[in-house]
């Protein structure tokens, strides 16, 4: 199999690290060839806090995936999340020197570069600059300004900001695990690509990805991402509460949550009891399921309310910004019983659980289509997209070079030569950020 046809997503989470190998099949769907997962020991709330342990976990997940797919992994697309991520809205404009020429890619790049000069807090770096809509000479609601005439080009941007040291630490772990960093993507964006349909993004939808250490939110409307947020609570705090509330060890608390936990206390009858073996010869403990659900309920309500505050911050209550698609829950935490009902009750919005099967090949293993793997599937898709872009650009450059050689043979006017110039590669800032992280790591060696 050609190496270039496969892509590897690496989801470095707080509870687990997943390496997933995938490729596109002839129907344009993503086929998962292998998957590996390891317990994540060096990550806290989405941020690496122990480099050595994280490297070991990455290597373990990668080896498992390699064995499953009989493929050697070299390049990975990695997701970043964590409580250091924040987002802001910003408007900016450029005045074009010559309004006789139509707006082209260079003008957009100039405008986006200008946004990158925004002064951030010390240690922060802009990760994503996502244009919302453009205005040309005051005429608004333009989604694609290229090819239009105009002197003043302005746009609203959704700017995602993160701590540069956290991003570099992730890069460091990847490099030390003998892997090559192919791309960086914001995890809520990756999850959204894996579980949302185009119609939902158009209608307006909030994706809530409940992980172990953080809960990520991405809001879409009119097909464009409008708001992102990372809330520093996830499934782990629920486990922590059960551990404290029932005086049991963490392993038992996690099992209780998964097997018997529910976000809706009214579901359990008073006489439903679970017996837990005591530690080293002590008496077993009896815990009522009603109490267990009450503990879970209290914490889940807190998380959902914080997310709802962010959805309101985006402006969901304004008629024009209403999210018709409601809420989609994904991530490992979305598997909690009766969570959908509780979210609907708190927010009053339609809710569904998001499975990453939107773009997966029909014969995929049922386990892969679990909300648990939404981010990993999204990262694989992102890697495949990046490869397609590179291929298309290489072909374009090749064609342009051939065309230019032909023109040297014919004596042609200068204008014709300009037409055949290779189309300039439009790199996203994530590509540039990836390169900066790579450069930094190479210099730091």
Assess whether pLDDT exceeds 50 at residue 325.
yes
Mean pLDDT of 409-434: 57
**227 domain-assigned:** yes
**311 domain-assigned:** yes
| Close Cβ partners of 303 (under 8 Å, ≥ 6 residues apart) | 210, 215, 231, 233, 234, 237
Mean pLDDT of 69-89: 88
What is the overall mean pLDDT for the chain? 88
338 or 83, higher pLDDT? 338
Q: Which residues pair with 12 in a beta bridge?
A: 17
**Cα-Cα end-to-end distance for the chain:** 34
Cα–Cα distance between 114 and 124 in angstroms, integer? 17
Q: Which of 69, 77, 76, 71 is nearest to 34 (CA)?
A: 69
Cα–Cα distance between 422 and 105 in angstroms, integer? 13
**57 domain-assigned:** no
| Residue 79 phi, psi dihedral angles, 5° rounding | -100, 145
Cα–Cα distance between 430 and 366 in angstroms, integer? 32
- pLDDT for 396 equals 85
- pLDDT for 411 equals 57
Strand pairing class (16-24; 30-39)? antiparallel
331: left (phi over 0), alpha (psi -120 to 50) or beta: left
pLDDT of 217-255, one tens digit each? 999 999 988 898 889 999 999 999 999 998 899 999 999
With H, G, I as helix, E, B as strand and everything else as coil, classify residue 229: strand
Tokens of 15: 């509870």
Kindly tell me the number of DSSP H helices and DSSP E strands found in the chain: 12, 18
Mean pLDDT of 302-328: 92
Q: Which of 200, 188, 193 is nearest to 160 (CA)?
A: 188
- pLDDT for 2 equals 54
| Residue 72 phi, psi dihedral angles, 5° rounding | -90, 135
| Residue 341 phi, psi dihedral angles, 5° rounding | -65, -40
Are the CB atoms for 431 and 383 separated by under 8 Å?
no
**87 domain-assigned:** no
Please state the domain count of the chain: 1
Assess whether pLDDT exceeds 80 at residue 400.
yes
Assess whether pLDDT exceeds 60 at residue 413.
no
**93 domain-assigned:** no
Q: Which of 13, 20, 54, 56 is nearest to 35 (CA)?
A: 20
Total Cβ atoms within 10 A of residue 77:
29
Cα–Cα distance between 3 and 87 in angstroms, integer? 36
**329 domain-assigned:** yes
Are the CB atoms for 237 and 299 separated by under 8 Å?
yes
414 or 79, higher pLDDT? 79
**286 domain-assigned:** yes
Show the domain range for 232. 197-356
Q: Vertex 47, ends 177 and 211: CA angle to 5°?
A: 105
**206 domain-assigned:** yes
- pLDDT for 1 equals 47
Cα–Cα distance between 130 and 123 in angstroms, integer? 21
- pLDDT for 367 equals 81
Share of the chain above pLDDT 90, in %: 52
Q: Which residues pair with 380 in a beta bridge?
A: none
CATH number at residue 203: 3.30.420.40
Strand pairing class (16-24; 6-12)? antiparallel
Name the band, by pLDDT with cuts 50, 70 and 90, for residue 445.
low
| Close Cβ partners of 208 (under 8 Å, ≥ 6 residues apart) | 215, 216, 217, 307, 327, 328, 329, 330, 331, 334, 343
């Amino acid at each position: 199999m050609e190496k270039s046809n496969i892509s590897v997503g690496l989801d470095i989470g707080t509870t687990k690290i997943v390496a997933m190998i995938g490729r596109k099949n002839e129907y344009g769907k993503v086929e998962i060839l292998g998957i590996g997962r390891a317990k994540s020991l060096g990550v806290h709330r989405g941020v690496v806090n122990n480099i050595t342990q994280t490297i070991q976990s990455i290597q373990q997940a990668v080896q498992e995936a390699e064995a499953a797919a009989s493929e050697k992994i070299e390049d990975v697309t990695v997701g970043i999340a964590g409580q250091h991520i924040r987002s802001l809205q910003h408007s900016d404009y450029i005045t074009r020197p010559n309004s006789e020429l139509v707006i082209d890619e260079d003008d957009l790049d100039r405008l986006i570069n200008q946004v990158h000069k925004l002064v951030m807090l010390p240690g922060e770096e802009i990760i994503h600059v996502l244009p919302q809509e453009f205005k040309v000479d005051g005429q608004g609601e333009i989604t694609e300004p290229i090819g239009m005439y105009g002197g003043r080009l302005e746009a609203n941007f959704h700017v995602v900001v993160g701590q540069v040291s956290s991003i570099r630490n992730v890069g460091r772990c990847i490099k030390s695990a003998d892997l090559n960093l192919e791309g960086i993507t914001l995890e809520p964006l990756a999850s959204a690509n894996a579980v949302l349909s185009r119609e939902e993004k158009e209608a307006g939808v909030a994706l809530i990805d409940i992980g172990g250490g953080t809960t990520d939110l991405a809001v879409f409307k009119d097909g464009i991402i409008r708001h992102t947020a990372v809330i520093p609570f996830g499934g782990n705090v629920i486990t922590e509460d059960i551990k404290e509330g029932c005086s049991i060890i963490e392993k038992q608390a996690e099992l209780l949550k998964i097997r018997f936990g529910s976000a809706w206390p009214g579901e359990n009858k008073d006489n439903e009891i679970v017996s837990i073996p005591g530690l080293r010869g002590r008496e077993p403990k009896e815990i009522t399921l009603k109490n267990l659900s009450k503990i879970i309920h209290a914490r889940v309500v807190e998380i959902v309310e914080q997310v709802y505050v962010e959805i309101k911050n985006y402006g969901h209550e304004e008629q024009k910004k209403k999210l018709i698609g409601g809420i989609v829950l994904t991530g490992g935490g979305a598997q909690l019983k009766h969570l959908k009902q509780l979210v609907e009750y708190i927010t009053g919005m339609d809710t569904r659980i998001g499975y990453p099967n939107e773009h997966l090949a029909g014969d995929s293993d049922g386990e892969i289509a679990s909300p648990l793997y939404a981010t990993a599937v999204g990262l694989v898709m992102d890697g495949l997209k990046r490869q397609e872009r590179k291929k298309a650009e290489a072909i374009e450059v090749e064609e342009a070079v051939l065309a230019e050689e032909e023109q040297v043979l014919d004596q042609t006017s200068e204008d014709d030569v300009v037409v055949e110039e290779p189309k300039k590669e439009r790199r996203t800032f994530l590509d540039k950020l990836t390169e900066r992280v790579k450069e930094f790591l190479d210099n730091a060696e």
